[in-house]
Amino acid sequence: MLDTNHDFPPIELASKEGILAIGGDLHPDRLFKAYQKGIFPWYNEGEPIVWYSPDPRMVLKPKEVYISKSMRKLIRDELFSVTFNKAFKDVLYQCKNIKRTGQNGTWITDDLEAAMLKLHQMGHAKSVEVWQKDELVGGLYGIDLGNVFCGDSMFSLVSNASKFAFIKLAEKLVDENYKLIDCQVYNEHLSSLGAYEIPRVEFKKYLPSF
């Protein structure tokens, strides 16, 4: 169990399932420090906060993003436009409330939503917005560590909008010399965009706290 200070155990002590610690709070300093150390909260409303540092870790070097032929055509056709960090609150709301296949409810609790808004106000949490005309149809948000972007959640109200957000994020990060996008844990959606798993010990080398 975590106490009232903002320290975490070494990530090497995480369980086989990736659980490192339980408890504590979502104070912005603790939450940002967690991401700096390769740790993130993942729990359901009404449960204690569970802090994870999985091994292996799903990641992508921005320059290695995979753009399929169909996505290249979509980009050429200019069906979407993109902005960065212009509608963080709306993106966070959609990520929290969108219905996802195979999931009962959301892991973005009310407390976590409030904490992420504070991190955004502090300049640490940032968003990508995808628009179709004037309607927000997709996007993602995450924590910016300066050379690593820790993706936290994405949403899509129309087909391919979240993929478009991820591709545009990767392109922006290439231009800004970022080393890595942290995708946390394996999923097929991110795998289709080129993300892959690496050992936690390798992921650790990219983090600013080490």
Amino acid, res. 154: M
The DSSP code for 55 is: S
Per-residue pLDDT reduced to its tens digit, 134-151: 999 999 999 999 999 999
Number of neighbours of residue 13 by Cβ within 10 angstroms: 11
Model confidence at 125: pLDDT above 90: yes
Structure tokens at 196: 């892959």
Residues 6+ apart with CB under 8 A from 170: 60, 62, 63, 65, 181
Whether 112 contacts 26, CB under 8 Å: yes
The reported pLDDT for the residue numbered 99 is 78
Model confidence at 1: pLDDT above 80: no
Model confidence at 200: pLDDT above 80: yes
DSSP conformation letters of 136-173: EEEEEEEEE-SSEEEEEEEEESSTTHHHHHHHHHHHHH
Amino acid, res. 117: L
β-bridge mates for residue 2, sequence order: 23
Structure tokens at 127: 């968003």
Residues 6+ apart with CB under 8 A from 16: none
Per-residue pLDDT reduced to its tens digit, 75-85: 999 999 999 99
